[in-house]
Amino acid sequence: MIAHLSGRLLSKQPNQIIIDVQGVGYLVNIPLSTFYEVGDAGASVQLLIHTHVREDTIALFGFRTSKEKQLFEQLTSVSGIGPKLGVTILSGMSVDELVPAIRQGNLARLTSIPGIGKKTAERMVVELRDKLSKTEGVWAETSSPLEATSQVQDDAISALINLGYPKPSAEHAIQKVLLAGGPDQPFEVLLKRSLQELSK
């Protein structure tokens, strides 16, 4: 099983990156928190890896911190949550927000994540609340109206749609962020702020 990869970043998208490790390119699925931190193409990158094996495929899921990897593995132990939904959950909420939401049974907060309905949120609370409480020490870290959209804005809207948000909601969130912070925000900043806006 692959548990760690260290190499050069070949390319990245909000939910996937390719890492060149001595001439071999590994496709790794990632949450948005990792996407923000891996740098640009050509950068050196190290990730903790969860290897998911099924009869017809082997998929790699990468994380920058052990907290994220551990929480991902806890999430995917819940009935009905597979690895792709696990990554979506970690993309929709940080570890430091998600753990308290599960412990407190905050269903409204949990169901704000794309792909998480009430039943799935309830299962997360029932199956993980005690586990997360037992390992508490692990988690205790701590303009003017815009006209034509730019390529960066289009890319951010597309990324939000790929993460499960309806197009009108994605466009509305992008517009609010652009009005607050100006039209020249980099893609990663625009995407992060838009996700924060959508989670309110």
Give the tens place of pLDDT for each residue, 73-91: 999 999 889 999 999 999 9
Long-range contacts of 172-175 (CB under 8 A, 24+ apart): 173/197, 173/198, 174/149, 175/146
Domain with CATH 1.10.150.20 in the chain: 66-139
Whole-number Cα distances in Å, 96 to 99, 140, 142, 156: 6, 8, 7, 24
Evaluate if pTM is beyond 0.85. no
pLDDT single digits (tens) 131-187: 876 655 555 543 333 333 467 888 888 888 888 888 878 888 888 888 787 777 888
Topology annotation, domain 66-139: DNA polymerase; domain 1 (1.10.150)
49 band by pLDDT with thresholds 50, 70 and 90: very high
Percentage of the chain beyond pLDDT 90 is 35
Average pLDDT score, the chain: 85
130 band by pLDDT with thresholds 50, 70 and 90: confident
The pLDDT, as a whole number, for residue 135 is 55
Give CA torsion, residues 102, 108, 112, 114, to 10 deg: 70
- Residue range 28-32: mean pLDDT, rounded: 94
23 band by pLDDT with thresholds 50, 70 and 90: very high
The conformation of residue 18, written as its DSSP 8-state character, comes to E
Query: Superfamily for 4-63?
Result: Nucleic acid-binding proteins (2.40.50.140)
Burial 72-87 (b: 16+ CB within 10 A, else e): bebbbebeebebebbb
Domain with CATH 1.10.8.10 in the chain: 151-198
What class does CATH assign to 151-198? mainly alpha
